[in-house]
Amino acid sequence: MGYTENELAKDLENQEYKFGFVTDIESDKAPIGLNENIIRFISAKKNEPEWLLEHRLEAFEVWKTMTEPEWAHVHYTKPDFQAITYYSAPKQTKKYESWDDVDPEMKATMAKLGISMEEQQRLTGVAVDFVMDSVSVATSFKAKLAELGIIFCSFSEAVQEHPELVKKHMGTVVPTTDNFYAALNSAVFTDGSFCYIPKGVRCPMELSTYFRINEGGTGQFERTLVVADEGAYVSYLEGCTAPQRDENQLHAAVVELIALENAEIKYSTVQNWYPGDKNGLGGVFNFVTKRGMCERNAKISWTQVETGSAVTWKYPSCILKGDNSIGEFYSVAVTNNYQQADTGTKMIHLGKNTKSTIISKGISAGFSQNSYRGLVQIHKNATNARNFSQCDSLLMTDTCGAHTFPYIECKNSTSKIEHEATTSKIGEDQIFYCLQRGISEEKAISLIVNGYCKEVLNQLPMEFAVEAQKLLAISLEGSVG
């Protein structure tokens, strides 16, 4: 027997005693491990109100009683939750001294994606000038948004400045008891973004994490809350196509969307976390809980392009609570090498005349495993509910896997549910046709894959779509079997 849990607990207790959390408040980093005092430390560090601390502690109590879910079709070594640092202040120092220090492989990828030089340097965290520049850009955008009454800021800022909004909405869609990772996130989240669109306002621009001022260092436990008040509209972009290298292996984010009456939220994600090397070593574990609540006549649309992470566990969902509400899910998930993805959506139909559409396109290459797992649930009162699901999988090699696990539960006789799934590989005749016309095999595959994903890519905002297409090509580079 090695180091037991009890011993660890004892050690941690001693540790706390040794350093104490109150005196440690000036430090930038919490001690390794997770316990009540660490949570108090994070909360104190962020100068949070009492109710939020209580919320965190409650979540922690719940989390302690939960076990890590094992039902997903993924295999990995479970992270040691006591070996993680749950808080470290955003690093002020730049990551690289000069542009020359940046990993040439990363530079090449960004060039291929067509990201501008400025953006490239900003993303890699090189040039302070450009960061300053983007800050000013962001500030001018902020002013414009403020005019309309739109609140768009970091989560910590929102807690300080708009506590009533945060308190009212936080945890209403993803309760702390929801699942293991959501509970963990609720206990230890460090930052994230908050967005509120007032009644009847149509947000004039795509809100994006690109423009966010206090970006970096939001850490592994991100918390996003988007509230669209009655009749409001917002399109929100998360992530970016550039490869994200991150030291943190575990990412457990929570995203909550609230669309009140007649509101519409469009949430687009491009995720390109470090997927590990060609042999499947390293890489980010992405365990995300994303859920939206639709009131009457509201609409929530999730669009995602997933190419990164070693292990993905993610099910953006819609609770169609109000009558006539609409939920949409468009997804492209690409896995290569030894990546594993178990992703899909849940559409919970509660209101009358609710509609949902699911379009999921999976592409597996290398030795990867790509699963779609979805739930369509029609409750008793969801008269005339309608669902259409289509899950296609494309297999690039004979060593990868593509799986479909749809759950369809219907308790209403007036609803219509359709589900179809196909699995196949790229037709040899299609490749042959392209080759005949002088298109190289690599290009032909990229062309076919882009055509295959078109239904989803079309849903992305313009600039994102262009980058996403290139991203697909890069992710599948050299994967032709």
Partner 1 sequence: MSTTLSINKLAKFTTALTPTSLTFSQDVIKDALAQLSSSEFPTTRNEQWKYTRVGKIAAIEPQVKTEYTRKLPKYSIAENAVTFVFENGIFRSDLSYGEVINGVTIKPLTACTAAELVSVGKLAKIEGDVFNSMNSAYASDGIYIHIASNTIVQKKIQIIQILTGNQTVANTRNYLFCDKFSKAEIIFGAFSHDATNSFNNVVTEILVEENADLTIDKIQYEEAGNYTIATENVQQAKDSTFTINTLTLNGTIVRNNLTINVAGTNCTTNLNGAYLLKENQHVDNHTVVDHLTPHCNSNELYKGVIDDKATAVFNGKVFVRKDAQKINAFQSNGNVLLSDNASVNSKPELEIYADDVKCSHGSTTGQLDEEAVFYLRARGLSEKSARHLMVSAFIGDVLEKIESEDVLAFTQKILQERFGWEF
Among 98, 140, 424, 440, contact with partner 1 (rule: CB under 8 A): 424
Q: In whole angstroms, how close is the CB of 365 to partner 1 at the nearest point?
A: 10
If one asks whether residue 68 binds partner 1 (CB under 8 A), the answer comes out as no
If one asks whether residue 405 binds partner 1 (CB under 8 A), the answer comes out as yes
**Contact letters for partner 1, residues 350-389 (x by CB under 8 A):** ----------------------------x-x---------
If one asks whether residue 40 binds partner 1 (CB under 8 A), the answer comes out as no
If one asks whether residue 450 binds partner 1 (CB under 8 A), the answer comes out as no
Among 28, 80, 129, 420, contact with partner 1 (rule: CB under 8 A): 420
138 vs 408, beta carbon nearer partner 1:
408
If one asks whether residue 409 binds partner 1 (CB under 8 A), the answer comes out as yes
Q: Report the alpha-carbon distance of residue 264 to residue 89 in Å, rounded.
A: 35
Say which residue the tokens 């969307």 belong to: 257
Among 162, 425, 454, 470, contact with partner 1 (rule: CB under 8 A): 425
Q: How many residues bind partner 1 (CB under 8 A)?
A: 37
| Among the residue ranges 9-17, 137-145, 404-412, 443-451, the one whose residues contact partner 1 (CB under 8 A) | 404-412
40 vs 419, beta carbon nearer partner 1:
419
| Among the residue ranges 141-149, 271-279, 325-333, 390-398, the one whose residues contact partner 1 (CB under 8 A) | 390-398
208 vs 446, beta carbon nearer partner 1:
446
If one asks whether residue 429 binds partner 1 (CB under 8 A), the answer comes out as no
Say which residue the tokens 């414009």 belong to: 144
Among 98, 399, 440, 458, contact with partner 1 (rule: CB under 8 A): 399
Among 44, 106, 410, 466, contact with partner 1 (rule: CB under 8 A): 410
Q: In whole angstroms, how close is the CB of 312 to partner 1 at the nearest point?
A: 18
Among 421, 460, 474, 476, contact with partner 1 (rule: CB under 8 A): 421
301 vs 370, beta carbon nearer partner 1:
370
Helix (H), strand (E), coil (C) string for the chain = CCCCHHHHHHHHHHHHHHHCCCHHHHCCECCECCCHHHHHHHHHHCCCCHHHHHHHHHHHHHHHHCCCCCCCCCCCCCCCHHHCECCECCCCCCCCCCHHHCCHHHHHHHHHHCCCHHHHHHHHCCCHHHHHHHHHHHHHHHHHHHHCCCEEEEHHHHHHHCHHHHHHHCCCCCCCCCCHHHHHHHHHCCEEEEEEECCCCECCCCEEHHHCCCCCCCCCCEEEEEEECCCCEEEEEECCCCCECCCCCEECCEEEEEECCCCEEEEEEEECECCCCCCCCCCCEEEEEEEEEECCCCEEEEEEEECCCCEEEECCEEEECCCCCEEEEEEEEEECCCCEEEECCEEEECCCCCEEEEEEEEEECCCCEEEEEEEEEECCCCCCCEEEEEEEEEECCCCCEEEEEEEEEECCCCCEEEEEEEEEECCHHHHHHHHHCCCCHHHHHHHHHHHHHHHHHCCCCHHHHHHHHHHHHHHCCCCCC
251 vs 349, beta carbon nearer partner 1:
349
If one asks whether residue 167 binds partner 1 (CB under 8 A), the answer comes out as no
Among 149, 163, 198, 406, contact with partner 1 (rule: CB under 8 A): 406
If one asks whether residue 411 binds partner 1 (CB under 8 A), the answer comes out as yes
CA 119 to chain centre: 21
| Among the residue ranges 206-214, 253-261, 391-399, 435-443, the one whose residues contact partner 1 (CB under 8 A) | 391-399
Among 173, 183, 305, 400, contact with partner 1 (rule: CB under 8 A): 400
55 vs 346, beta carbon nearer partner 1:
346
If one asks whether residue 333 binds partner 1 (CB under 8 A), the answer comes out as no
Q: Which residues bind to partner 1, rule: CB under 8 A?
A: 71, 73, 378, 380, 393, 395-425, 481
